[in-house]
Amino acid sequence: MTGFTEEFVERLLRAAEAARANAHAPYSEFSVGAAVLDEDGAIHVGCNVENASFGLSVCAERNAVAASVAAGGRGLAALVVITPARPPASPCGACRQVLAEFGDFPVLLANPDGERRMTSVSELLPDAFDRSVLESS
């Protein structure tokens, strides 16, 4: 991740992996963990929580963002997402939109096999619907 030491990136990866271990994914068996770094340097984690009513399932990324906001965070500086997919999977569209609410920042996609892909919120969701759209109306 740009501007972060490898040691710090590893710390974020470990936090995301620990959250992934707690995922509730009995239907898809696709456990996901996420760790967000807030603007104050605190790490907040989330995991996916599935529901028998599939539409009520919540992704790891959104849970991590919610944990950050609940702790008083308002800005995000980085996100790490770890999935079992090869290559590492990227966030769904709903998560991309939620991430865009907090600006453009680095996103590291990873899997337990050590594969990594660096991207950013703006690369994941170009031309995002954001507050500027609402302000221009």
Residue 1's pLDDT band, with cuts at 50, 70 and 90, is confident
pTM of the model: 0.94
Q: Which residues contact 84 (CB under 8 A, 6 or more apart)?
A: 30, 31, 111, 112
Q: Which residues are catalytic?
A: 61
Give me the domains of the chain, ranges plus CATH numbers: 6-135 (3.40.140.10)
| pLDDT at residue 137 is higher than 90 | no
Measured between alpha carbons, how far is 109 from 120 in angstroms, rounded to an integer? 10
Contacts of 97 (CB under 8 A, 6+ apart): 125, 128, 129
Give residue 41's pLDDT. 94
pLDDT digits (tens, 9 = 90+) for 72-129: 998 999 999 999 999 999 999 999 999 999 999 999 999 999 999 999 999 999 999 9
